[in-house]
Structure 1
Amino acid sequence: MGSIGIKSSGSEVVTIDVHATKGLIQTSHVYLDVRTVEEFEKGHVDAEKIINIPYMFNTPEGRVKNLEFLKEVLSACKKEDHIIVGCQSGVRSVYATSDLLKEGFKDVSNMGGGYLDWVKNQFPVKTPLDLVKDEVPLKATLDLVKDEVPLETTLDLVKDEEVPLETTLDLVKNKLPLKAP
């Protein structure tokens, strides 16, 4: 397991590693992803109970704190809920966890290492492909992701649709429309 802090005053942040998090989110814990909506939509932890409430927003001047963060969390969670807070690398989530503890949440932990560590350990993630591939026609899905998704991921998407490899490679390389066999 990872490093685990000690709650002494009720506001000290407890950090758990991604391995412990993986086990806890498979039980009764809520995973609170505090990354920006843009980060979340590119990919996030695959959890049954997941909520995205940004702790900070990107602005032209840089990142600014979400002043409605606590209010938004209170509208989605109870203070007694078991919550694990995660972000991209584990920094924003420490601040978010601290704020939640100060607000009176009882069982809130920080996921050390964040989403980057989760991915590094090859734990399950949800990506835009996962979210749309079963609901949107294949061509529309490829149009949505072809400029942002690695070739291997695109190939994985189309191999289940029995599209010839040459067509897939042409699509990715030359941005051609997909034509089913």
Structure 2
Amino acid sequence: MGSIGTESPKVEVATIDVTATKGLIQNGHVYLDVRTVEEFEKGHVDAEKIINIPYMFNTPQGRVKNQEFLKEVSSACKKEDHIIVGCQSGVRSLYATADLLVQGYKDVNNMGGGYLDWIKNEFPVKAPPKVKNDL
């Protein structure tokens, strides 16, 4: 089915939509948000079990991969946990999901469309309160 890679192992990443994700996180799946802390703090998926571990960091030179990503995930999740990986639009989460599968995580899915799709569907979010200007 998949191609055989000589440089790096190839894995099949399962991508599910935001509606399927919503159902799974309501049934106890862990939601792993791989966006930056700044993105996460502006608003994120409302989930009981949610973890924010950035897959990439913003630097003056552009985005760079978080070299501690797999170590940080392994300290927060077991390889048997049911995990859904999400980001802003579905790109970083795709790479993060592949990395986790290569590391031996058994049940990891990528949330296609990311947080942008989640908002578009008007699913519950947690965001800081809007500041009102009463001037």
TM score, norm. by length of structure 2: 0.91
Letter in 2 for 1:90: G
Letter in 2 for 1:88: Q
Per-residue CA shift, 1:52-99, capped at 9, x if unaligned? 000000000100000000000000000000000000000000000000
Count of residues paired in the alignment: 128
Other structure's SS at 2:83 match: strand
Whole-angstrom CA distance in 2 between matches of 1:35 and 1:10 = 24
Question: Which residue number in structure 1 is paired with residue 5 of structure 2?
Answer: none
More helix by share: 1
How far the C-alpha of 1:11 sits from its partner, in A, is 2.5
Question: Which residue number in structure 2 is paired with residue 113 of structure 1?
Answer: 113
Other structure's SS at 1:128 match: coil
Whole-angstrom CA distance in 2 between matches of 1:116 and 1:47 = 16
1:126 aligns with 2:126: yes
Whole-angstrom CA distance in 2 between matches of 1:47 and 1:22 = 9
Greater C-alpha radius of gyration: 1
Question: Which residue number in structure 2 is paired with residue 60 of structure 1?
Answer: 60
Whole-angstrom CA distance in 2 between matches of 1:120 and 1:76 = 29
1:85 aligns with 2:85: yes
RMSD: 1.7
How far the C-alpha of 1:112 sits from its partner, in A, is 0.2
Question: Which residue number in structure 2 is paired with residue 43 of structure 1?
Answer: 43
| Contact 1:86–1:115 (CA under 8 A) maintained in structure 2 | yes
Whole-angstrom CA distance in 2 between matches of 1:110 and 1:84 = 6
Whole-angstrom CA distance in 1 between matches of 2:61 and 2:35 = 18
Unaligned runs of 5+ in 2: 3-8
Unaligned runs of 5+ in 1: 1-5, 130-144, 147-153, 155-169, 175-181
Whole-angstrom CA distance in 1 between matches of 2:111 and 2:63 = 21
What is the percentage of aligned positions where both structures have the same residue? Answer: 79
Question: Which residue number in structure 2 is paired with residue 179 of structure 1?
Answer: none
Other structure's SS at 1:110 match: strand
Whole-angstrom CA distance in 2 between matches of 1:123 and 1:18 = 9
1:15 aligns with 2:21: no
